[in-house]
Amino acid sequence: MQLLTVTDQHTRQEFLKLPLRLYNHHKFWIRPLDEDIENVFDPKSNKTFRKGELERWIVVNHQGETVGRVAAFVNEKTKDKRNDQPTGGMGFFESINDQAVAFALFDACKNWLSERGLEAMDGPINFGDRDKWWGLLVDGYQIEPNYLQHYNFPYYKDLFEAYGFKTYFKQLTYVRKTRDPLSPKLAKKAERLQQDKSYSFSHMRLKNIDKYIKDFQTVYNQAWAGHGVPKMAYVQAKSLMYQLKPIIDEKIVWFGYYNDDPIAFFIMLPEVNQIFKYVNGKLDWIGKLKFIWHKWRKTCNKMFGLVFGIVPAHQGKGVEGALIMAARQMIQDDYHRYEDYEMNWIGDFNPKMMRVAEQVGGTIGKTHITYRKLFDQNKEFKRHPLI
């Protein structure tokens, strides 16, 4: 076999097309959009290149067939953040079930990162924000992947762990039927706040999108910044909201207020992979027509929780219960649009959010693992700290 650096159009296409050959007849795999993968590796599209660099490889067997791929990357903004050692990343790993192929790819990442002064690598992760392409699927293979989330073969877990990767944290996806009952504890929490007229809860109105951009930024920066994610500038919040606008269903995007100041959000979206699976990775004019058709036909009957947050000053007061119960009234009683619900990307380092997911009635349906490989095997391994 031969390890090749991705440097030209042929190797770029081989990198992109390998999953099609591996998963072509797999029942639950959904082909990602080509442009979503290619944008990760395009400096014009991916702002992470401003403070980082990456390299990609494929492995070709003796018959000239591509049998593996991987990428390694350094993000200068995060390599030392919350780490005991400079830590890089690897991701977009795909391989046949062959340890020699997998280890050749892992070695390429390790050597490239070591040359740049890194002492560990996390993987499989994204070269960019961690809400996309983050973590290895280790449980829940019978459930279709959500948009921008990994789906992989069960044997990948064995390959990673045989190489010496250890669990840094787990990402849990909680699933439930939309109209199943909620925990009575949520109703009790909601009752306390319903007596206080200072609190109010309402769903988004797209005609006032600029107001909700500011509200989202305010809550996000207080609730999430500092927990391994940077603060979000207004221009970033605006860009994100307008990117999501074509798929936003305003009746499932909820905000909480205290004396009209934003203090919480519960943002859910239609799970667009339920539509994208019909476009076969191509969002060309034919793919766009298919997307519009299936959106009009309301093909998507699953929604997912994108993000949930409460500012610290109002945590522990029952806000989560009141916000969820307000959304429940709309989703279960007034607006019978979705059958299934998934809460994505809840880290096992965040027990508060795990409790919220359980109170909502969710059970763990999918588990992804973010692994870490220390290059010095004598160094103490530490898991992600609890928050």
Q: What is the CATH number of the domain that holds 304?
A: 3.40.630.30
Q: What is the pLDDT of residue 227?
A: 62
- Residue 189 pLDDT > 80, yes or no? no
Q: What is the pLDDT of residue 336?
A: 87
75 and 38, same structural domain? yes
Q: What is the pLDDT of residue 190?
A: 81
Q: Which domain holds residue 73?
A: 2-168
For the chain, give the mean pLDDT.
Answer: 93
| CA distance readout (Å), 277 to 131, 172, 271, 274 | 20, 23, 11, 6
Residue 69 lies in a domain: yes
Cα separation, 294 vs 355, in Å, equals 35
- Residue 188 pLDDT > 90, yes or no? no
Most confident of 76-90, 181-195, 225-239: 76-90
Residue 316 lies in a domain: yes
116 and 242, same structural domain? no
Residue 370 lies in a domain: no
198 and 64, same structural domain? no
174 burial via Cβ count (<10 Å: 0-12, 13-18, 19+) = buried
User: In the predicted model, what is the mean pLDDT of residues 275-294?
Assistant: 90
With contact defined as beta carbons under 8 Å apart, do 102 and 95 qualify?
Answer: yes
Cα separation, 271 vs 360, in Å, equals 18
Cα separation, 315 vs 332, in Å, equals 25
| Eight-class DSSP state of 346 | E
Tell me which amino acid residue 239 is: S
Q: Is 66 helix (H, G, I), strand (E, B) or coil?
A: strand
198 and 146, same structural domain? no
263 and 160, same structural domain? no
Residue 343 lies in a domain: no
Q: Is 266 helix (H, G, I), strand (E, B) or coil?
A: strand
307 and 192, same structural domain? yes
- Residue 194 pLDDT > 90, yes or no? no
Give how many domains the chain has, as a whole number: 2
Pick the last residue of a domain from 304, 319, 338. 338
Residue 279 lies in a domain: yes
Residue 365 lies in a domain: no
- Residue 229 pLDDT > 80, yes or no? no
User: In the predicted model, what is the mean pLDDT of residues 327-352?
Assistant: 91
Q: Which two tokens stand for residue 287?
A: 């793919």
| Eight-class DSSP state of 32 | P
For 55-89, write each residue's pLDDT tens digit: 999 999 999 999 999 999 999 999 998 899 999 99
108 and 14, same structural domain? yes
Taking alpha carbons only, the member of 267, 268, 263, 252 closest to residue 219 is: 263
% of the chain at pLDDT higher than 90: 77
208 and 116, same structural domain? no
Q: What is the pLDDT of residue 88?
A: 98
Q: What is the pLDDT of residue 360?
A: 83
The confidence band for 344, taking pLDDT boundaries of 50, 70 and 90, is confident
Residue 356 lies in a domain: no
Q: What is the pLDDT of residue 226?
A: 65
- Residue 210 pLDDT > 80, yes or no? yes
- Residue 285 pLDDT > 80, yes or no? yes
- Residue 185 pLDDT > 80, yes or no? no
129 and 278, same structural domain? no
Cα separation, 123 vs 72, in Å, equals 9
Q: What is the pLDDT of residue 128?
A: 93
For 80-126, write each residue's pLDDT tens digit: 988 999 999 999 999 999 999 999 999 999 999 999 999 999 999 99
The structure's pTM equals 0.88
The confidence band for 193, taking pLDDT boundaries of 50, 70 and 90, is confident
213 and 262, same structural domain? yes
193 and 120, same structural domain? no
Pick the last residue of a domain from 120, 140, 168. 168
Residue 277 lies in a domain: yes
% of the chain at pLDDT higher than 70: 99
**Omega before residue 124 within 30° of 0, cis:** yes
For 159-171, write each residue's pLDDT tens digit: 999 999 999 999 9
183 and 294, same structural domain? yes
Question: 368 φ, ψ to 5°?
Answer: -110, 150
- Residue 352 pLDDT > 90, yes or no? no
Pick the last residue of a domain from 139, 168, 197. 168
